[in-house]
Amino acid sequence: MEHLEDHERREVWNKVKDALDHDHIDQFRAEFLELHPYDQAEIFVGLDTEVRMQIYTYLSPEEIADVMEHIDYDEIEPFFTEMDPRFAAQVFAEMSTDDAVDIFNELEKDKVASFLTIMDDEAAQEIKDLLHYEEKTAGSIMTTEFVVVKATMTIRQAMVHLRTEAPDAETIYYTYVIDEDKRLVGVISLRDLIVSEEDWLIADVMSERVVSVSVGDDQEEVARMVRDYDFLALPVVDFQEHLLGIITVDDIMDVMEEEASDDYSKLAGIADVDSPDENAFASAKKRLPWLVILLFLGSLTASLIGRFEETLSVYPILAVFIPLIAGMAGNTGTQALAVAVRGIATGEIDKQGKAKMMFREAGTGVITGVSCGVIITLIVYFWQGNFFLGVLVGLSILMTLIVATLAGSLVPLIMHRFDIDPAVASGPFITTINDIISILIYFGMATAFMNLLI
């Protein structure tokens, strides 16, 4: 069934609810299971606990697993907590191993241990094998549910093997080829398996040019490879080229969303993006640390202005242009920051070179600085009738925009160089730093050329 619009989902839900209200199990199953699992999940998360408990008795663990795989991992804990523990363990066993691991990473350790104890040994061991990998690495997002064939097999033998193993595999569009030591030696597509002669050897048909990732590679790097090569799946190997698992494109889409959300929250100066149903205390707890840091930096800006109190007392009109110069510095710094962080995230900076990017940003700062400087010089001159005041503000804008642009692009590069997430050079942080720089430039020049102003 196609993705439902909101009004269509409400119509279906009315039918489902009617079946639940009258304990018509067959009608409920017919209506609910006709939906795509995404639409099932959209309906499921909006239900009351009492109704969900009823649904657990109507659906099998496998059917509930399909629903759970389409719910955001950070929202899923309450559903597994309210289930009967043995039923929940069966649901985990029916889920794709990588999805189960992602959910376990959101649960408390004692709950994880409890579920693993109840689960059957084989399913529990598969999950344990993945849980020990560090979060946000290739190992943590890979699945062990894949099909491999040996290079010495014939096409006929491989097809028989594929028919047997395919029902439990996450994807069969790529079949990976291993040698006797379980090392990855090639890959063969489903198309090549179908069109090849049955008595041909896999070794003669497979492609030996296999692009793989190491189990410890960062998930963002893996996502970039899938994007660049347009893969549907990517094999994961250890340092000896043993095939450990595969990463499928649906997992990569989750990674891209997670990384984009993470970068956005850091650029906004918060620990994590607020959930719509989060209470005010939880939201404040995430935002407060950055705000406290920025408060101290802001106090530094205020103390700097205080040091130029004598200059302001001689020529008070200078205070009028403080918000203008500081605001321009913050805006242009944030623009450069966004370009730099995006370039690092997409790999574009590595392709074009950091030096080239810095020269481009410096040129951008000069052009925008000269343009804005000339405009503000004329505005101040005609407004205040003081040519030197206009020149002072114009030159301050010029120098501030150049420095702010360079700072906005250089700080993320330095952080990236030392393996620090460049997104932590957040908009508020860069803005505050550029405020300090702009105040020093503006009042430093005003103090130096006070005689010309007066």
Tell me phi and psi for residue 439, to 5 degrees. Answer: -65, -40
Q: How far, in Å, CA of 102 to CA of 156, rounded?
A: 37
> Is the Cβ–Cβ distance between 282 and 247 less than 8 Å?
no
DSSP state of 446: H
Contacts with 142 (C-beta within 8 Å, 6 or more apart), sequence order: 98, 130, 215, 236, 244, 245, 246, 247, 251
Q: How far, in Å, CA of 447 to CA of 445, rounded?
A: 5
> Is the Cβ–Cβ distance between 131 and 245 less than 8 Å?
no
> Is the Cβ–Cβ distance between 236 and 214 less than 8 Å?
yes
Q: Which of 166, 162, 226, 237 is nearest to 193 (CA)?
A: 162
pLDDT at 1: 43
User: 280-453: what fold?
Assistant: Tetracycline Repressor; domain 2 (1.10.357)
Tell me phi and psi for residue 218, to 5 degrees. Answer: -65, 140
Beta-carbon-side half-sphere exposure of residue 252 (alpha carbons within 13 Å): 20
The CA–CA distances, whole Å, from 203 to 128, 179, 180, 193 equal 33, 10, 13, 12
Query: What are the domain boundaries of the chain?
Result: 6-135, 148-262, 280-453
Residue 385, sorted as left (phi over 0), alpha (psi -120 to 50) or beta, turns out to be left
> Is the Cβ–Cβ distance between 94 and 120 less than 8 Å?
no
What residue type is 69 in one-letter code?
E
> Is the Cβ–Cβ distance between 453 and 446 less than 8 Å?
yes
> Is the Cβ–Cβ distance between 442 and 448 less than 8 Å?
no
> Is the Cβ–Cβ distance between 249 and 232 less than 8 Å?
yes
What residue type is 194 in one-letter code?
I
6-135, which class in CATH? mainly alpha
Q: How far, in Å, CA of 300 to CA of 65, rounded?
A: 54
- What proportions of the chain, in percent to the nearest 5, are helix, strand and coil? 70, 10, 20
> Is the Cβ–Cβ distance between 193 and 175 less than 8 Å?
yes
* Bridging pattern class, strands 174-178 and 148-150: parallel
Per-residue pLDDT of the chain in tens (454 residues, 90 and over written 9): 445 566 666 777 778 778 888 888 888 888 888 888 888 888 888 888 888 999 999 999 999 999 998 888 778 888 998 999 999 999 998 988 888 888 888 888 888 888 889 988 888 888 888 888 888 889 888 988 889 999 999 999 999 999 998 888 888 888 999 998 889 999 999 999 999 999 999 999 999 989 999 999 988 889 888 888 888 889 999 988 999 999 988 888 888 777 666 655 555 555 555 455 556 676 666 667 766 776 777 777 778 777 787 877 777 888 888 888 888 888 888 788 777 777 776 666 665 677 787 888 888 889 998 999 899 999 988 888 888 888 888 999 999 898 888 888 887 787 777 776 666 555 667 777 888 888 888 888 888 877 776 6
Q: How far, in Å, CA of 277 to CA of 46, rounded?
A: 12
- CATH 3.10.580.10 applies to domain 148-262: yes
CA 115, 117, 119, 122 torsion: positive or negative? Answer: positive
Residue 196, sorted as left (phi over 0), alpha (psi -120 to 50) or beta, turns out to be beta
CA 343, 349, 355, 357 torsion: positive or negative? Answer: negative
Q: How many CB atoms lie within 10 A of CB 364?
A: 19
In the beta sheet, which residues pair with residue 148? 176
Burial of 27 (0-12, 13-18, 19+ CB in 10 A): middle
